[in-house]
Structure 1
Amino acid sequence: MRCTCGTCCFPFLTICKRPSAAITPSTSKLTPRLLTTHDDAPHTPAVQATAKMAASELLPTPRHPAADDDEIKEFHFHTYFFQRNPHSLAAAQHIHAEIQRLNASHRFTARVYRTFNTAPVGPHTIGSFETWVPRESFHAVYDWFLRNRHGLSILVHPLTRFEVRDHTEAAVWMGAAVPLDLAGLTEELEEVPRQYPELGLGYSAKK
């Protein structure tokens, strides 16, 4: 038996809460219905305000601006190797040379920093070298590293005013992550670091 009054709050009970409601037998199966906040919760101003507050707590916090126009336009690819391991060192030297060759042949635009670190330098705790990449070549360089890192670990991070964040939560790794020493990094720089402005790429590109 179910209530058919149309306004009862307990349609599946044999006893209707409205005195004047008519009760008729029904042979149809009762389908359980889950309560949802969208369909069944009272839409009072207080409830709506509480829902909005709860939703706001789940939303991601706004990301830090990378530049005046809030776009990341330059990146670093750091290649790590064990400087006392001949095989690891040889793999790094090969990658270092290949990037320069591909850049010279205009396969992509990437600049290998002049220093090939065979000892810890800055936040890098083992041997490493740096490759600067503008966003115009990011896809091509990322693709190349994925297929040609020879088992070495690669740290990819953006260049923004927020050095610590760039090397941590905004960074990605190819291969195993290498511990970093963040003590020498700055939480927030005065301006975005611009490298190789003579190329007219990345942050130095004409708008």
Structure 2
Amino acid sequence: MIRVLLTDDHKILREGLKGLLHDTDDITVVGEAGDIQELFARLGSVACDVIVLDISLPGRSGLDALKQLKAEGITTPVLVLSMHPEEQYAIRAIRSGAAGYLTKETASQELVHAIRKVHTGGKYLSSNLAERLFTELANPRGAEPHTLLSDREYQIMCMIGSGLTLTGIADKLALSVKTISTYRTRVLLKMGMKNNAELTTYVVKNGLLCDNA
């Protein structure tokens, strides 16, 4: 039996995922978490074989969770399940240690197969993502400017480019406006840009808009 720990801040979505897995004879949900703190608390109290992890969590993100899992030597395979399309976060997730990346849009058709695959030590990637990952690994010097950003800087760039104000971003990420402003300054410096308008143009051109902005 494959024991799954679900991590998503939306209870309704967790219920939906449990419904998708209910009819399988080899997968069972042994725990749920709504944020990173709850995730690590559950890992200390229940044994699981696969972690299904959302990227967009309150406070620290799913990418932060991947890094903490690695730092603590936890080797349980992680399947990232996100509302964000592959071109936004998939490669970052795989580089951070995820065993697979699945969009919520395709979860109803692919979740069971993806869980089974990462449980056996495999990687779950769409053909498009596998090609993109190979291209970036083969040609790192040709990487696009946004790949030089940290995960948090990248997240904030996408949110600014999607029209959110610094106050709106601060509310969503549970951070201070001053902190968001500091990140914005770093993003502009690393991207060689002068203002939000240039960031917005770049985000739109490269298809990095946030669906939940």
Question: Please, what TM-score do these two structures have when normalized by structure 2?
Answer: 0.27
**When you count helix as a share of all residues, which structure comes out higher?**
2
Greater RCO (CA < 8 Å, at least 6 residues apart): 1
